[in-house]
Structure 1
Amino acid sequence: MIKRMLCLWLTVASPLAWSSVANLDALQTQLSQHDTVRGDFTQKRHIEMFEQPLSSEGQFTLNKEQGLLWQQATPFPVGLVLTQDKLRQTFAGQIPKVVTAKENPMAFYFSHIFLAVFHGDTDALKEQFDIAFSAGDNQWTLVLTPLNAPLNAVFEAITLTGNDNIDRLELKELRGDKTEILFTNQTHQPEGLTDAEKAQFSF
């Protein structure tokens, strides 16, 4: 459950010129520009014991106030809805399963850390990570190295790269496994949630 939630946290930056992202403060400002972002994702899970990665694709919607919608389409449909204190997971033809922050506080601890990444909360990040920012070759890179338990017991590093948007998120585990999430077709329009999206968050 915790690893699945860690893989959920994704977003994109605002359509500012790449040259304006010259340091960490500028990047965090850019990441916090918009209330809503939507797009497509391709996730590849590299497990050392398997020769080929496990792949999945779908669409996402991230809203600052409500949370995250993660709709996996292939290899089979899975719907995930994450709010501040609840997670609903739905497999095709099955009754949705809901987990609350009270039932699994550790999982939601991880989710709040990743919200800090995507909402530009630099102070919160500095409490949990050694942060390395670099920019060059028409892209920026942010490497987060966990400092404290429980993050440093699971991850070696978390790396985000992008240009106008966050294009790639990599979660590298201590045991050698790795998850890559590639983002495409990102948009901030419409800024607000649609009626259908609002309905998904009502549970």
Structure 2
Amino acid sequence: MKKNKTVLFGALVLSLFFAQNLSAISFEDICSGLSKRANTIGEFTQTKKINSNGRQLKSSGVYIICPDGIMWKTLKPFPLKLVLTKTQMIQTSADGRKSVINGAENQVFKNISSILSSVFSGDSEQLKNNFETEFFLVDDGWRIELTPKDSTIASAMKKLVLSGEAKGKDDVSMNRLEILEASDNSIVYEFSNQRYPKELTLDE
């Protein structure tokens, strides 16, 4: 009995310690933690829910986030690669055909590219400039809700919801991104098997 009480006491002390550490973490800390990841490589699962009929469309693949941009490579149900930089978006289909959007000629694209870059890089000032921000601590993690200020962006999406884990100010990860569209459809990205190499290989 005494041993059980000791184990319970130890577990209680640890839980209080981690809870105290987490309660000291702010929105800026989360953004700073995300921005310290020079490169992120992982797997994603995308689920799009069509509100009008309740259908769910699922796809999965791998992704890379680096200072030069973002690469989404869908593997299932069919191959598709999307590369997003600050100046252009390149989409490559399974048969090798490419479509390119030039950011210099498309203001909407420039806005979206800037927003996505700030979301994944944890640029707190850029996020506050573009969104009304709400920050929550939940269990052993965090959630950020972003409501767009720009009317052009708001016409496409109502809200972005980011969530993830925080084991400390220097150990932050984003595991989920939800996009609530103006049409009431939603897209959820779930990230897994993430790693953070200092440098990318030539293949990557």
TM-score (ref. length: structure 1): 0.82
What is the CA-CA distance between 1:93 and the residue it aligns to? 1.5
Partner of 1:58: 61
Q: Structure 2 residue aligned with 1:194, among 192, 196, 201? A: 201
Partner of 2:69: 67
Amino acid at match of 1:76: F
- Distance change (3 Å), C-alpha of 1:85 and 1:133: same
Amino acid at match of 2:35: S
Amino acid at match of 1:48: N
Partner of 1:111: 113
Deviations 1:138-181 (A, max 9, x none): 11000011122112222221101111421110011222110100
Whose Rg is larger? Answer: 2
C-alpha distance in 1 between matches for 2:106 and 2:150: 19
Partner of 1:101: 103
Matched, 1:40 2:48: no
Deviations 1:90-116 (A, max 9, x none): 111132222211232311211101211
C-alpha distance in 2 between matches for 1:35 and 1:160: 19
Q: Structure 2 residue aligned with 1:173, among 181, 186, 195? A: 181
C-alpha distance in 2 between matches for 1:109 and 1:51: 30
Partner of 2:4: none
C-alpha distance in 2 between matches for 1:82 and 1:152: 21
C-alpha distance in 2 between matches for 1:103 and 1:88: 14
C-alpha distance in 2 between matches for 1:46 and 1:159: 15
Partner of 2:170: none
C-alpha distance in 2 between matches for 1:175 and 1:67: 28
Unaligned segments of structure 2, at least 5 residues: 1-17, 167-172
Amino acid at match of 1:163: E
Indicate the RMSD between aligned Cα atoms, in angstroms: 1.8
In the alignment of these two chains, the number of paired residues is 179
Which sits farther off after the overlay, 175-184 or 81-90?
A: 81-90
Q: Structure 1 residue aligned with 2:132, among 130, 133, 144? A: 130
2:143 is paired with a residue whose SS is strand
What is the CA-CA distance between 1:82 and the residue it aligns to? 1.5
Amino acid at match of 1:175: S
Partner of 1:160: 162
Partner of 1:139: 141
Partner of 1:150: 152
C-alpha distance in 2 between matches for 1:69 and 1:154: 22
- Give the fraction of aligned pairs with identical amino acids, expressed as a percent: 29
C-alpha distance in 1 between matches for 2:142 and 2:55: 28
C-alpha distance in 1 between matches for 2:76 and 2:153: 29
Partner of 2:12: none
Matched, 1:27 2:35: no
Which sits farther off after the overlay, 34-43 or 98-107?
A: 98-107
